[in-house]
Amino acid sequence: MWISVALLTLALGVYAVAIEPRRLVVTRTVVPVPGLQQPLTALLIGDPQPLWPWWSPARMRETMAVGQALQPDVVFFVGDYAYENKTLRSYGIREPFFIEPATTVAAMAQLQAPMGVYAVMGNHDWWWDGPEMIRLLGETHIQLLMDEAVLAEGPKGALWVVGLEDMATPRKVDLQRAFAAVDGRAPIVTLSHSPDIFWALPDRAALLLAGHTHGGQVWLPFFGRPIVPIADRRFAYGHVRADGRQAVVTAGLGMSILPVRFMTPPELSLLTLVPAPQE
């Protein structure tokens, strides 16, 4: 019996380290949005964090091509485009473990959408080199939002896209500044790297899109997600309804700290935003 348990544990460990991190799934979620005039699709992508050998520039390009094939009306990136092991960095070891963020940003820039492509910064982007990441994104058509809002318009209507600073680092989020330009012309979609900002958002911010958690990277039957780097574990993963508002938290693509995923494969999150029923 113990041999069988040991072999099963070994097999699951090999799967979690060698197989699931190399998978890619497209999750589909229908999200009712108050004030929306007609349905539209939003592609939510979080935490690319390319870690060799699970990720390579070629795999990142292929993944973004899968996203483009979904033909989204709008694209949202929610942070952590860079990842570098601090221990290896302290010893001056980079190749092949470190994948240049410039190649990741170039892959991200493959994505086009009628209503635009928008991004916010993540903690790993600041830990790597925040100003350089801002520069790299600034050389593309991806619109980086840092406590600011933009009206995204297209054939299917309009959305206010509010992008927040990253609260997973000691950076102050200025909500008053972020929402200052927002009026009643369109519903609001708020982007934040971490979902922990949810309870601080104004009531009119009906939908938050976030990442950062990686879905815990591991989900275990009966135990759930053992490690989630946020204060409110309700926002560990997926479509969450609370306080009359909603959040969608993506499990993202890459991995952090431990190179393992179990029952939480890398994902592209395709959201179908639909008009909410009038009360």
Top pLDDT among 142 and 257 is at 142
Q: And the tokens for 253?
A: 């693509």
pLDDT tens per residue across span 18-50: 899 999 999 999 999 999 999 999 999 999 999
Residues β-bridged to residue 76: 44, 118
Q: And the tokens for 18?
A: 């060698």
Angstrom CA distances, 232 to 198, 200, 261, stand at 10, 13, 21
Residue 97 banded pLDDT, cuts 50, 70, 90: confident
Domain holding 37, by residue range, is: 2-275
| The pLDDT value given to residue 10 | 64
Q: What DSSP element (H or E) covers 68?
A: helix 57-69
pLDDT tens per residue across span 150-171: 999 999 999 999 999 998 777 8
CATH number of the domain encompassing residue 159: 3.60.21.10
Judged by DSSP in three states, 133 sits in helix
pTM as predicted: 0.95
Top pLDDT among 91 and 231 is at 231
pLDDT tens per residue across span 203-244: 999 999 999 999 999 999 888 999 899 999 999 999 999 989
Radius of gyration of the chain (CA): 19
CA 10, 12, 13, 19 torsion-angle sign? positive
Angstrom CA distances, 190 to 63, 101, 178, 249, stand at 24, 25, 10, 12
Residues 6+ apart with CB under 8 A from 100: none
Residue 191 banded pLDDT, cuts 50, 70, 90: very high
Q: And the tokens for 107?
A: 């892959």
Q: And the tokens for 204?
A: 């009119």
Task: Output phi, psi for 141, to 5 deg.
Answer: -85, -5
Task: Give the whole-angstrom CA distance, residue 165 versus residue 112.
Answer: 23
Q: And the tokens for 127?
A: 């830990």
* pLDDT value at 93 more than 70: no
Domain count within the chain: 1
* pLDDT value at 9 more than 80: no
Tell me the pairing of strands 157-163 and 148-154: antiparallel
Task: Give the whole-angstrom CA distance, residue 167 versus residue 195.
Answer: 9
* pLDDT value at 7 more than 70: no
Task: Give the whole-angstrom CA distance, residue 190 versus residue 162.
Answer: 5
